[in-house]
Structure 1
Amino acid sequence: MKKILPFFKRFFYFFSLFFYVLLTAQTDSLEQKIVKASKEEKIEIYMQLANKYSKIKVDKAIDYAKQGLELVKTENSKYTGFFYLRLGYFHNDKSEHVKALFYYKKALEVSEALNYELGIGKCYQNIAVTHVKMGNYDKALDYDLKALKIYEKNNDENLITGLVGNIGSLYSCRLKDDENGLLYYNRALEMSKKTGNNEFRSHILGAVAEMYIRQKEFAKAKKVLKESLDIAEKANYPRVVISVLSNLSLISIEEKKYKEALMYSKRVLKMRLESGYTEDNTLTYLTLADIYEKLDDIKATEFHYNKALSEAKTSKALPQLSRVYEALHEYANRRKDYKKSYEYVLKYNKAKDSLFTIKKDKQLKEVQAKFGLENKEKEILLLTNENKIKALENQNQSTTQVLLIMGLMTLTIILLTLFGAYKNKQGNNKILAEKNEVISQTLKDREILLKEVHHRVKNNLQIVSSLLRLQYKFGNHKSSTEILQEIQDKIHAMSIIHERLYKSNNLSLINLQTYLDNLLSHFNTSYDLPEQNITITTAIDNINLGMDRLVPCGLIVNEIIANSIKYAFQDNTNGHISIKASKNKDTCTLTIQDTGIGFPENFEMESSQSLGMQLIQGLTKQIKGTVEIISNPGACYTITFSMAG
Structure 2
Amino acid sequence: MTKYCQWQFGAVVLVAVCVLAAPLSVRAQDDWVDSIHLELLQAEAAHQIVLFQSLAEYYHPRQPDSSARYVQRMVRMAEGFADPAAASEAWRMVSSVYIKRSQIKEASDYARRALKQLENCTSPACLEEKYEAASGLDYCLTRQGKHGEAVDVLLPLQAFEKEFGKEKKAMLCLRLGESLNEIGDYDEALAQLNKGLAYSRELGNRNTEQEILAIISITYYYLGDLDKSVRIAKTSRAIASELQNKNAECYLLYIIADTYVSLALYDSARHYFEQLREGSLALNNDDYYGFAIGGLFRNALLQGNDNLEKYARAAKEILENGKTYQQLHVKRNIYSSFSDYYLQKGDYQKAEEYALNHLRHVRKFEADTTELVVFALEELSKIQAAIGSFEKAWHTYDTFYQLKMAIVDNNQHRALAQAAVEMDLTENELARQVAEKTARLEQQTTAIRTRLFLGSLTVAAIVLVGLLWAYRRAQRDRQLIKQKNEQIETSLAEKEVLLREIHHRVKNNLQIISGLLGKQARKSSDVAVRKLVKEGQERIQSMALIHQNLYESDQLSGIDIKSYLQELSQNIQKSQAVSPEQIQLNLDVDTENLDIDTAIPVGLILNELLTNSYKYAFPAQRKGRIKVDFKKKEDRYLLQVSDDGIGFTPEQIEAGKRTKSLGLSLVNGLVRQLSGTIEWLAVERGTMISIQF
The structure whose Rg is larger is 2
Normalising by structure 2, what TM-score? 0.46
